[in-house]
Structure 1
Amino acid sequence: MDPFFTVVIPTGPDTDRLTLCLQALTAQTLPPDQFEVVVVDDANRPETAVVVAHFSAETRIEVRYLAQRDRRGLAAARNRGWRAARGQFIAFTDADCQPQPTWLASAQGMFRRGAMVVTGSVRAVAPRVAGQARSQPVPDITELSTANCFCQKVALERAGGFEETFDLAWREDLDLQFKFLEIGIPILRCPEAAVMQPMHPTGWYTSLNNERKKRYDALLYKRHPELFRQRIHRSEALVARQYLTVAGLVMALLAAAVSYWSVALLGMAIWLAFTGLSLMEEWSGQADLLTNAKQAGATSVASPFLSVYWRLYGAVKYRVLYF
């Protein structure tokens, strides 16, 4: 008999987090014969295959391992997982999440009452402080988080699954959410279906690296212009400030090149003013100002240029008028 659920877990090179995720599934209150697990390895690492094989041998849970020949992103990995599913109800989570014991049972109740798409709750667990772990809800930035959502397989088939052009982990969940809304499939909430997501330390440069994801905003806007305008919060003041920051420095350099010094000074003043404002915001709340001075300075200087570049890159690449 086919299982009720297929749990799809896309994963990369971090086998330690995947192990914790799989271990959490052994505590499910739903009987193990009612769900299977499909791990899709986007990194195609032998170590991951070993982890999955060991887990399968040690538990009563049926688990399958699928390796992506090429790294195509988590959207493609999720598509491969749900299309290989034996269950008619697909549970998505991420390898760095730890589903709570009633995760599947809570969602099953929603589906038995007629739901087609369900989103659960995600609780971020902060690093231990003085021997205590702290958890807090993740802000609702999307109605459908791939860290914790459930879909009837037929709903995914109707929507076409995840758009694989989103080959970084950014906006692919919103794209699927918007597709469901456009074809009239409601998304229901089930807070009792919870996963924990430990927060891991990142380098100060992470925010700069993440600027490249902004190119996908242009793609999402092109695919769903009305819903993008209605549901995506974007600080127009911040965007305008970033463009003015870039324009100020460009104006200063071009004017200096042709010896228009008054224009060059004006451009430099604009750049310094907005960069200084960003620097104060970066420093706000920092306990050790001296230690973070270089980091805040680098972020304040580089962020506007990276943000503008990746926005325009996305507009050009996806051929859409988006700023």
Structure 2
Amino acid sequence: MRPAVRPADVEAREPRTIGASEPVNDGYPGALLAHLDVSVVVPTWRRPDLLRTCLDALVRQDFEPSRYEIVVCDDGPDDATRATVDAFAAEHRPRGVALRYVAVTATQGPAGARNAGWRAARAPLIAFTDDDTQPAADWLRAGVAALDRADAAAGRIVVPLDEQPTDYELDASGLAHAEFATANAFVRRTLLVQTGGFDERFTAAWREDSDLQFTLLRAGAEVVRADDALVVHPVRPARWGVSLAQQKKSRYDALLFRKHPQLYRQRISSGPPLLYYAILCAALWGLVALLFDRVDVALGALAVWLVLTAGFCVRRLRGTRRSVAHVAEMAWTSLWIPFLSIFWRLNGAVRYRVWFL
């Protein structure tokens, strides 16, 4: 195993040697228990029906029930979620499966909820999944086996799609190709202690898993694939025009780039979204031309903007549903996405003080 090094963004934390499975006196409330091999951490936020399906798969794992626990971290504590966890805990306690509910009130977002979960966990290995996944019966066994040869592992995610998915569904299916996603990940607890776990500035479900992956790599950890550890991650229904609101996530790209510029360019994006900037420049060109009463130039700029925007829309429609409602959604949102994406990228650049275009 490579020696641990101090990550650039955790200077205030003393580095610790990456261990195999030794107990950790780290001051967190989860005192390790000798009979537990792994703790499954599940962040959730006010969707008990989805959580119920996930828990049903977790309590039926092909793994000795007394050797694992399930820690549900509720980032928006509510009675329905707690009742769901309590009901599963009571039903499966006789089999030896331990379910615990952790109310998370001092954080915001899945990164903070996962931190609360692994800190309260009582096993030396931590398995992460989401409340809207359906882990296979041998998921836990395969993931734990992968940690026999590494410090962290990324399992396989299957995203079922219709023959003609929407643009949103197709975009969400990219999770199946992610290098490391916390919908299906396994990490040694000692390594989470060493690095501090998730950066809670990622308050949305976006890039917090890549940040953890890059932090682990820079800490000298060995991160492997565990393709036998499988979860199914259905795409949840989304409202019309959801892609506009999603552009706000672009500011977290700036934070990830600030922390890990080289890894970001290697594994996320090698450069800025040039098409978006071209569309913005065409629009600005036209506006400036109108200010100077150059109608001919403004019309030329409008033509360029229309061609670029239409091409962007056609690209998004490729391989997706062709219903009237979906085509209308793609046409409308394609008009605004380039501007919103650039706005939030620049917002992130200013907020996190990094040159990020």
CA distance in 1 between counterparts of 2:121 and 2:184 reads: 17
Checking the alignment, whether the CA contact within 8 Å between 2:175 and 2:181 is kept in structure 1 is no
Shift of 1:308: 1.1
Matched, 1:208 2:241: no
Matched, 1:300 2:337: no
Normalised TM-score (structure 2): 0.82
* Match of residue 133 from structure 1: none
Report the residue type matching 1:306 in the other structure.
Answer: L
AA of the residue aligned to 2:339 = F
The amino acid across from 1:31 in the alignment is E
Query: Which stretch shows the higher mean deviation, 215-224 or 269-278?
Result: 269-278
Displacement, 1:127? Answer: 6.2
For 2:216, give the aligned amino acid: F
Name which structure has the greater RCO, CA cutoff 8 Å, separation 6+. Answer: 2
1:114, CA displacement in angstroms?
Answer: 4.2
Distance 2:323 2:177 in 1: 31
Preserved contact between residue 218 and residue 314 of structure 1 (Cα < 8 Å): yes
The Cα offsets for residues 13-35 of structure 1, whole Å up to 9 and x where unpaired, read as 11111001111112211111101
Q: Which moved more, 1:271-280 or 1:159-168?
A: 271-280
Q: What's the Cα RMSD here?
A: 2.2
8 Å Cα contact 1:283-1:289 kept in structure 2 = no
CA distance in 2, matches of 1:199, 1:45: 24
State the shift of 1:241 in Å. Answer: 1.7
Change (3 A) 1:317 1:25: same
- Deviation string for 1:112-162 (max 9, x for gaps)? x34221221111234699xxxxxx9954222x2101111110011112100
Pair 1:298–1:150, CA change in 2 (3 A): same
Match of 2:206 in 1: 170
Shift of 1:287: 5.7
Gaps of 5+ in 2: 1-33, 165-172
Extract unaligned runs of 5+ from structure 1. 130-135
Q: Which runs of 4+ in 1 moved over 6 A?
A: none
Q: How does 1:91-106 map to 2 (within 5 A)?
A: 91-106=127-142
With over 3 angstroms needed to count, the CA separation of the structure-2 counterparts of 1:128 and 1:265, relative to structure 1, is closer
Cα shift readout 1:71-130 (whole Å, capped 9, x = no counterpart) = 60000000000001111110100000111111122223233x34221221111234699x
Would you say the 8 A contact 1:38–1:85 is kept in 2? yes
Q: Distance in 2 between matches of 1:23 and 1:48?
A: 14
Q: Distance in 2 between matches of 1:157 and 1:70?
A: 19
The equivalent of 1:132 in structure 2 is none
Which has the larger strand fraction?
1
1:127–1:199 Cα contact (<8 Å) kept: no
Residue aligning to 2:343: 309
Tell me, yes or no, if the aligned pair for 1:110 and 1:118 is still in contact at 8 Å.
yes
Q: How much has 1:204 moved relative to structure 2?
A: 3.9
* Native 8 Å contact 1:127 1:200 kept in 2: no
Is 1:273 the counterpart of 2:312 in the alignment?
Answer: no
Deviates most, 28-37 or 261-270: 261-270
Summarize the Cα distance change of 1:227–1:282 in structure 2 as closer, same or farther, 3 Å threshold: closer
Identify which of 126, 137, 146 aligns with 1:90: 126
- Equivalent of 1:140 in 136, 154, 177: 177
TM-score, normalised to structure 1, is 0.90
SS at match of 2:233: strand
| 1:234–1:298 distance in 2 versus 1, CA, 3 Å | farther
Residue equivalent to 1:45:
78
CA deviations over 1:188-210 (Å, ceiling 9, x no partner):
22211111112233234122221
Residue 5 of structure 1, aligned match among 35, 38, 43? 38
| 1:54 equivalent in alignment to 2:87 | yes
3-state SS of the aligned residue for 1:125? Answer: coil
